Structure 1
């Protein structure tokens, strides 16, 4: 399965129930592009097998190794596409990830610095803005 925007591999993942409201269209399965970092929903009618433990390191080695925090970071990247529209959800998701023991802002910064990714948005600037309203 490949991204329709940059033709790079997609990583499909199940959205943890606790993070369902942060998923695109509140879908139970989403994908993240390994290059442009677009996060999209994956319709259940799509017959794509989701790995029991998706390999988010295909996107970046900076992703957490545990599945739930990695999915949360992926969803946060998707929400960064529109900070104004997603501010409340981003604040809540960042807080949830921190309570679970993940440093989401540091992880997002490291993903942003990974030379293999080319985000479709100015992720560096958005992370700076995210830091301002989260803390």
Structure 2
């Protein structure tokens, strides 16, 4: 079953299972969807009718549907969560710091990838991604 469309912009979404990063997600569920266009991160529906199948420990989310700039492998889930949590940097600061470390540990420079996403013409983030990247640099 495919994930539901984004509630903000009606674009397609990809399913994500927070898995080992569940403590970073400010929701009651670890099953989430990330918009492929505006990068909004939301809890997946729980009504059963539109519940997406999420990537588990042995399945990677379909991040290629978002952008070629999205990291794959071990960095895919923490980077997707990081991007989604940037909407509220102040509230999610601790989780974002943990996710940055996880992405770096997986061998990916998260700030460079955020910068690359700002230049992807297919993406129109709901937030000022470039501004958030600058704020992250100051945070570190």
Structure-2 residue corresponding to 1:65: 72
Moved over 4 A (4+): none
Q: Judging by fraction of residues, say which structure has more helix.
A: 1
Aligned partner of 2:16 in structure 1 is: 13
CA distance in 2, matches of 1:53, 1:93: 17
Q: What is the number of residues matched between the two proteins?
A: 132
Gaps in structure 1 of 5+ consecutive residues = none
What SS does structure 1 have at the residue aligned with 2:42?
strand
For the aligned residue pairs, the C-alpha RMSD in angstroms reads 1.7
Where in structure 2 are the equivalents of 1:1-135 lying within 5 Å? 1-17=4-20, 19-25=21-27, 27-46=29-48, 47-50=51-54, 52-66=59-73, 68-134=74-140
Report the alpha carbon displacement of residue 44 of structure 1 after superposing the two structures with TM. Answer: 4.4
TM-score normalized by structure 1? 0.88
TM value normalised by structure 2: 0.85
Contact in 2 for aligned 1:38/1:120 (Cα 8 Å): yes
